């Protein structure tokens, strides 16, 4: 069993709407995968299918199990934070720790307490007395202390201050992630996650339009900043996207050798955000 998640012909329809349209993909163990797509592209639906929250068509195996029929066993090894999930208002920090410790075989109370010690949260505090940032801190303390094989994060930092967001991703990388774990993240703030991702998946209209490792993407795509004199030559190489910055043209190339572009101007690796915009062209028109 090499793939943590393997989908073949995964399809989800809501009435006449097809949210996810026959997609195939494989996520190997030990990766941090960014699942990126515009609103309504099917990314949350894909994750919900993988977490056994909704019925679907096609084949989907998560840690070798079918999330439709083996969800109860699966959830011992999988954890998730959904963007809309919140902790109940009546929950006390101490009770939350007691509860998860009581029911989860892979929960480390010491880890959760160590994380909470770095926050202002007190053991007697109830969720209803916390700010949104604090609630997320508690939620993360609980989830991060679970030694899950697969962690799914659907907009985990939505609505949080930049301080909390930075802290969160740093914590995720330094204290949580190791080669035995796999993380799938969806987010709108691509620039915040791109440096931690090992793999990238773009999803559009229920289909996967790009699935690649970050290394491959670095080799395949090049961004070129070119002066007006060489625009013609650059255009001849067929850029997939063009924009103008301070009178210079910035072009994005797919599969053109970097040595060939170097002679025309400055080259660099494109950001995931630029790549995303180029790939999703027409979506927002």
Partner 1 sequence: MKTMKWLLRREFWEHKGMFFWAPVIAAALIAVLLTIASAQLATNAMAHATINGHQVTAQVNGIPAELKQAIGSGMAGGYLAVSAPLFFLLGLAVFLYCLNSLYEERRDRSILFWKSLPLSDRDTVLSKIGAGVVMLPLIYIGVATVLSLVVLFVIATVLFVKGINLFPVLFSEGGLYLAPFQLLGLLPVYALWALPTVGWLMLVSVWARSKAFMWAVGVPLMTIAVLKFVTVTYHLDWNVDWFVREVALRGMDGVFPGIWLAAEHVGADQLVNPATHMMDMTNVLRASYGTLSSPSAWIGALAGVAMLAATVRLRRWRDEG
User: At closest approach, how far in Å is the CB of 98 from partner 1?
Assistant: 8
82 lies in the binding site for partner 1 (CB under 8 A): yes
105 lies in the binding site for partner 1 (CB under 8 A): yes
The span of 72-80, 183-191, 216-224, 239-247 binding partner 1 (CB under 8 A) equals 72-80
User: At closest approach, how far in Å is the CB of 191 from partner 1?
Assistant: 27
- In the complex with partner 1, the residue whose CB is nearer, 24 or 95, is 95
User: At closest approach, how far in Å is the CB of 182 from partner 1?
Assistant: 16
Contact letters (x/-) for partner 1, 111-150, by CB under 8 A? ----------------------------x---x-------
Separation CA 113–CA 93 (nearest Å) = 10
158 lies in the binding site for partner 1 (CB under 8 A): no
Q: Residues 14 to 53: which contact partner 1 by CB under 8 A?
A: 48, 51, 53
104 lies in the binding site for partner 1 (CB under 8 A): yes
Binding residues for partner 1, per CB under 8 A?
48, 51, 53-55, 71-72, 75-76, 79-82, 84-92, 95, 98-100, 102-105, 139, 143
């Amino acid at each position: 069993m090499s793939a943590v998640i393997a989908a073949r012909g995964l399809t989800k329809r809501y009435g006449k709407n097809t949210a996810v349209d026959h997609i195939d993909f494989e996520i190997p163990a030990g990766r941090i995968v960014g699942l990126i797509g515009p609103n309504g592209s099917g990314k949350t639906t894909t994750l919900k299918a993988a977490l056994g929250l909704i019925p679907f068509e096609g084949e989907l195996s998560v840690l070798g199990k079918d999330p439709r029929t083996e969800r109860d066993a699966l959830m011992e090894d999988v954890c998730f934070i959904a963007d809309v999930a919140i902790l109940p208002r009546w929950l006390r920090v101490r009770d939350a720790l007691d509860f998860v410790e009581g029911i989860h075989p892979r929960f480390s109370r010491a880890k959760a307490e160590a994380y909470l010690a770095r926050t202002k949260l007190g053991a007697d505090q109830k969720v209803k007395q916390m700010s949104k940032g604090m609630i997320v801190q508690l939620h993360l303390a609980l989830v991060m202390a679970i030694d899950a094989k697969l962690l799914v994060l659907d907009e985990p930092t939505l609505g949080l201050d930049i301080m909390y967001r930075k802290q969160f991703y740093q914590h995720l990388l330094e204290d949580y992630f190791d080669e035995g774990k796999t993380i799938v993240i969806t987010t709108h703030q691509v620039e915040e996650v791109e440096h931690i991702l090992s793999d990238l998946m773009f999803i559009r209209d229920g289909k996967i339009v790009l699935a690649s490792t970050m290394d491959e993407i670095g080799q395949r795509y090049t961004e070129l900043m070119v002066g007006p004199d060489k625009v013609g030559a650059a255009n001849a190489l067929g850029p997939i996207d063009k924009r103008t910055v301070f009178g210079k043209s910035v072009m994005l190339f797919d599969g053109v050798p970097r040595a060939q572009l170097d002679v025309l101007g400055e080259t660099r690796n494109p950001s995931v955000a630029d790549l995303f915009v180029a790939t999703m062209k027409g979506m927002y028109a």
